[in-house]
Structure formats: C-alpha cells, structure tokens
C-alpha cells in the first residue's frame, strides 16, 4: 500500500469516526449537544482536523442523513423482499419505515427535520436519498391505482408515514394505536 493510499484510508476512517460519534451524541443527548468542540474532544482530534473533513455541523448532519437514508432503504427493502403480495409488501414497508424512525430518532431528524445542506427532489439530489425514495417507490408504485402517477402516490404515502412518525414521537398520537393507523393508511391508500 502506498503512502497516498494509507493517508486516504486514514482520512476515510476519521470521517467515519466523526459521523459515528455525531450520531451517538445526537441519539444520546440531542442534536444541540453535537458541537465541533465536543466532537473533537470525543474523537481525540483537534477542531482543525474535524474542519478538514467537514466545514461545520451542517455538513456533519448531511453526512448522517446520507448514512441514514442508505440504512432506511436497506431496512425497507429487507422487509418488503420477505413479503408476499402487494398489500403485505406495503404493510411491511410502512412498519419498517416507522420502526426505523422510532429506533433512530436523531438520524431521522438529520434526514428530514434538520438542515444538512442536501437537495431533495432535484437533479443534484445525492444518490443515497434517491435510493431511499426508490426503495419506497418499488413497493408503492404497484399499488398506486389506475391513472395515478406512482411517484406522486409514493410522495403522498411517504408524507403520511412521516406524519405518523413525527406526531407519534412528539406525543401527539398515542403509540398504542400505531398498528391500527398503519393498517388504515394501507387499506385506504394502497388500493391494488
């Protein structure tokens, strides 16, 4: 391995450490606790080293969001691949999505609530975000219904799931009714 390759590998390792530490701090203490100073202390590097990887907290949030999008896409695909039939797939998708949001609240916030400097629904949308949407579209497109654009249907269904996740987490909806809400969403929107 050349010196250049070793330095690139070390840089990538440091970047992964910064993102993992930011996620850990955010999940434990909330995003307000994630500061460059605290991150630098936790990873035992100076703040200038941290800034050589990310220009600030916004870019770190963006990196966490991209990582989370990849994880969510994988979770949705794993859940839907084991399901038999369109309705079962959509139910598995909804459950996987809501479970991901519940298990990873800080990552979910980085993906959908905080400014990570990422473009959504644009040509320059990063690939992990496009892939996460594609993971939803793969199962939802088949149940959109006649004359309904699959992408638009996926956006509406996603918005409903996001609303359920956000309102439940905020204590606005009782969590014990999550399964019933999810069944209602699937029954009323997924018509195929």
Average pLDDT over residues 48-69: 96
Q: How many CB atoms lie within 10 A of CB 79?
A: 21
Q: Between the CA of residue 150 and those of 14, 121, 141, 158, 167, what are the distances in Å?
A: 40, 15, 5, 12, 25
> What pLDDT, on the 0 to 100 scale, is given for residue 192?
55
Average pLDDT score over the chain = 94
Per-residue pLDDT reduced to its tens digit, 102-132 = 999 999 999 999 999 999 989 899 999 999 9
Stretch 140-166: mean pLDDT: 95
Which pLDDT does position 161 carry in this prediction? 97
Q: Classify residue 152 by its DSSP letter.
A: H
pLDDT tens, residue by residue, 76-108: 999 999 999 999 999 999 999 999 999 999 999
User: Which pLDDT score, from 0 to 100, does residue 26 have?
Assistant: 98
Stretch 1-30: mean pLDDT: 94
In this predicted structure, what is the pLDDT of residue 188?
87
Mean pLDDT of 13-32: 96
pLDDT of residue 107: 98
pLDDT of 163 higher than 90: yes
């Amino acid at each position: 391995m050349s010196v250049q390759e070793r330095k690139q590998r070390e840089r990538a390792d440091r970047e992964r450490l910064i993102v993992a530490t930011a996620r850990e701090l955010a999940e434990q203490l909330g995003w307000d606790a994630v500061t460059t100073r605290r991150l630098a202390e936790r990873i035992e590097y100076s703040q200038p080293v941290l800034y050589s990887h990310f220009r600030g907290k916004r870019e770190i949030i963006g990196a966490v969001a991209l990582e989370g999008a990849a994880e969510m896409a994988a979770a949705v695909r794993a859940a839907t691949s084991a399901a038999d039939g369109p309705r079962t797939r959509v139910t598995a998708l909804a459950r996987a999505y809501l479970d991901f949001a519940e298990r990873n609240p800080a990552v979910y916030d980085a993906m959908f609530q905080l400014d990570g400097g990422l473009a959504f629904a644009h040509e320059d949308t990063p690939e992990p975000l496009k892939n996460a949407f594609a993971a939803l579209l793969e199962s939802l497109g088949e149940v959109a219904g006649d004359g309904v654009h699959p992408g638009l249907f996926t956006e509406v269904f996603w918005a409903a799931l996001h609303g359920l996740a956000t309102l439940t987490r905020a204590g606005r909806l009782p969590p014990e009714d999550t399964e019933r809400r999810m069944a209602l969403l699937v029954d009323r929107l997924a018509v195929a």
